[in-house]
Amino acid sequence: MTQFLISISTWLHAIATVVFIGHFVLLAGIYLPALSKNGTALSEISKRSRPWMYVSLLIFAITGTHLMMIDSGYLGFMDFGNFWGIVMLVKHILVFAMIALGFWYTPSCASVR
């Protein structure tokens, strides 16, 4: 049963990664350049993608906590005594930066109208 939970958590975490990062890649690479003059369309894209982003963040939190707790490199909360802990710190800083940029951009996108 443990191996099954690890497999499901890893799979869901990967799917959430694809949705989360894929959204930002599509937004920056396709939607913004193509629709920069059409604030209504950008606002609609933002509104429709928001539930997907929130669900992916929830899946990140649940599966990420599970995967972190079972990893042998995990030394404890805020313990960065090994390379794995430092890499996880850098990863979480990048994820939180992406979330902050997403929240920062969303209100400005809606005000373009």
59 and 12 in contact (C-beta within 8 Å)? yes
| Cα separation, 108 vs 94, whole angstroms | 21
pTM of the model: 0.69
Q: What pLDDT is stored for residue 39 in this prediction?
A: 73
| Cα separation, 82 vs 76, whole angstroms | 11
* Residues of the chain falling short of pLDDT 50: 107-113
pLDDT, averaged across the chain: 81
Contacts of 49 (CB under 8 A, 6+ apart): 23
Distance between the two ends of the chain, CA-based, in angstroms?
Answer: 52
Place of tokens 């909360």: 77
Q: What pLDDT is stored for residue 38 in this prediction?
A: 75
Best CA proximity match to 64, nearest among 86, 95, 97, 24: 95
Task: Give the number of other CB atoms < 10 A from CB of residue 77.
Answer: 6
| Cα separation, 87 vs 10, whole angstroms | 18
